[in-house]
Chain A
């Protein structure tokens, strides 16, 4: 079945450091890919998405490129801020999976001032 694997956290960075959170997926069809972010005490909210191969999603300085050849959708940001501290979830939704959204286990990011 469909699955999403993302790097284990926590990830701890200093302010202005470069961020990469790895995400790879397994799907039977051509899924849409998402990154959601969960700030402390809140629900998840969409950060960015890509619906087909080679698409790049971007928002708030974060970006991720849909790589079909490597089945990956890694999240990057050039310069993190303390306010980026949160849990990040990679997710996919696939017709073959009945359009259920499958979430990765989440990666907690701490950014130190």
Chain B
């Protein structure tokens, strides 16, 4: 009965490779997010989708491309991986976009680029 799940949990890859991270939520939420957390625990929003429509697209290299096939899924594809992409990536979801809704986070995907 996991609320927000991500796969894989760990991802180790070489520079220049392309990889994907998958996220699914079973909470019936309309809005999903991708965050990047660096080694100092700083959390930065990357993207947000509401009903499969992109609503937040922060200053992120265009090597990063989110895809939302339906409301319950938001995947993140990364092309031409670089050393600086090493981080923990969190998927999250919320019931809506207005201010009072809490976000539910997945367990994270630790990406290591060698």
A residues neighboring B (CB under 8 Å): 31-32, 34, 38, 41-46, 49, 51, 87, 89, 93-95, 98-101, 103, 105-106, 108
Contact of A106 among B43, B56, B106, B108 (CB under 8 A): B43
Chain B residues proximal to chain A, CB less than 8 Å = 4, 40-43, 45, 48, 55-56, 90, 92, 97-108
Query: Could you tell me the distance in whole angstroms from the C-beta of A71 to the nearest C-beta in chain B?
Result: 16
Q: Which residues of B contact A44 (CB under 8 A)?
A: 43, 90, 92, 103, 105
Q: Do A105 and B42 form a contact, CB below 8 Å, given A32-B100, A51-B99, A99-B97?
A: yes
B27 to chain A, nearest CB (A): 13
Complex: A34 Cα to B104 Cα, angstroms: 13
State whether A94 touches B42 (Cβ < 8 A). no
The B contact surface, by secondary structure, is loop
Assembled-state Cα–Cα distance A68/B41 (Å): 27
* Chain B neighbourhood of A105, CB < 8 A: 40-42
Q: Which residues on A sit within 8 Å (CB–CB) of B97?
A: 99
Whether B103 and A101, one on each chain, are in contact in the complex, defined by CB atoms closer than 8 angstroms, is yes
Contact of A43 among B40, B55, B102, B108 (CB under 8 A): B108
Closest partner residue, chain A, to B58 (CB atom): A100
- Of the candidates B43, B45, B98, B102, which one forms a contact with A46 in the assembled complex, judged by CB atoms under 8 Å apart? B102
A100 to chain B minimum Cβ distance, whole angstroms, is 6
